[in-house]
Copies of this chain bind each other. A is one copy, B any other.
Amino acid sequence: MAERTLMKGNEALAEGAIRAGCRFFAGYPITPQNEVPEYMSWRMPQEGGFFIQAESEVAAINMLFGSAATGARVMTSSSSPGISLKQEGISYCAGADLPIFYANVVRGGPGLGNIAPAQGDYFQATRGGGHGDYRVFVMAPNSVTEMANFPKRCYDVAFKYRVPSMILADGILGQMMEPVEFDFDPVDPDTFPEFDWTIGDAAGRERRVVKSYDLRPGRLEEWNFERQKRFDTIEAEESAWDSEGIDDCELLVTSYGSCSRISKSAVKLARDNGLAVGLLRPITLYPFPKRAFKEAAKGVKNILVVEMSLGQYIEDVQLSVEGAAPIHFHGRPAGGIPTAEEIYEIIKKIMGK
């Protein structure tokens, strides 16, 4: 077992990205993710990387756009309003096939909202808050250790398919501390192969242009179809999930991220009280583990979706189980954090206990 270090989620995220080869970070302060840029500001120079506090979130994502085009592993992070501001730039990254990585440590919304933990940005993350047909590879950690290890996975997928990738967290995951175990060895970016799409040193090769547009009739459509094929492959091959007690359960509870930890406590409470309840949590939100849900839904009598928002995540569950079982909903928006006891009460009600 690797040595365990007690780390804050935001710091684990930053350290995880650096160990995964991140050498360019541009960001702008916003609670509850400030520890990410703060950590990067001293760690990046140690690794020969570059940290910059951009003048705005818009500037930050565009700095990423430039840096990513040189082949660097880049990162930005923010929280809800800041991520909204980055949507144009993210769409451009998707359109130019640039592999970027970013994190949204979600807070209560809409608007300025508050700085409490929330999950109200699920739609934005999974359905492309930006314009045009594109998706983002989205991972939803539920522990500080996952905050530390998922950046690597995000980079790997992003570079394999040349798509944007992100971590959707929240104030709980960003602010809490837990012992962390890294499940990979630090990656040295100097050992990466040369890419055939980067710009910056044209000597001895054809010149290259990184761009997201094509005004020639029909060309952009072809490009979109080609990109869509990559997304199809991602959907087929890159989804991940986690489950507990779903083989013999009558009621399937499902949540993602920090909320799944709370649901897990509730499920344990229910099991301890003799109720046949299981838990299914998606680890990737896009691609959504549809098959796993379809399978799991087969045997059950009821499904309970718990999210810290007002009916966003539930749509992916509905689209996956296609009416196989009735879906119940418990949503707490804008910083309302459900407790395990509260979920357990709902479980009992659904099961008629």
Contact = CB atoms under 8 A, between A and B. Distances in A.
Interface of A: 58, 80-81, 83-85, 87-88, 91-96, 106, 108-116, 118, 120-121, 123-124, 127-134, 211-215, 217-218, 220-221, 223-225, 228, 309-312, 315, 318-319, 322-323, 332-336
A131 B112 contact: no
Contacts of A322: 318, 322-323
A124 B127 CA distance: 7
Contacts of A217: 116, 335
Given A114-B213, A225-B333, A323-B323, A109 B85 contact: no
Contact of A106 (B108, B131, B332): B131
Contact of A121 (B95, B116, B131): B131
Contact of A319 (B93, B112, B315, B332): B315
Given A124-B129, A124-B131, A212-B113, A224 B92 contact: no
A95 B112 contact: yes
A91 B115 contact: no
A294 to B, nearest CB: 11
Contact of A129 (B130, B213, B225): B130
A311 B116 CA distance: 34
A26 B210 CA distance: 32
Contacts of A113: 95, 131-132, 212-213, 220
Nearest to A221: B336
Nearest to A333: B224
A109 B95 contact: yes
A110 B132 contact: yes
A65 B86 CA distance: 20
Contacts of A225: 310, 333
Contacts of A88: 81, 84-85
Chief secondary structure at chain A's binding surface: loop
A217 to B, nearest CB: 8
B130 A84 contact: yes
A42 B54 CA distance: 38
A174 to B, nearest CB: 15
Given A111-B92, A112-B92, A112-B95, A336 B218 contact: yes
A118 B115 CA distance: 37
A217 B337 CA distance: 11
Given A220-B334, A334-B220, A95 B111 contact: yes
Given A127-B123, A127-B127, A220-B334, A110 B95 contact: yes
Which 8 residue pairs spanning A and B have beta carbons closest together? A109-B132, A95-B111, A111-B212, A110-B132, A80-B131, A112-B213, A95-B110, A224-B333
Contacts of A228: 310, 333
Nearest to A98: B111
B114 A133 contact: no
7 contacts: A80-B131, A109-B134, A110-B128, A111-B132, A113-B213, A217-B335, A224-B333
Given A115-B215, A336-B221, A312 B121 contact: no
Contacts of A94: 110-111
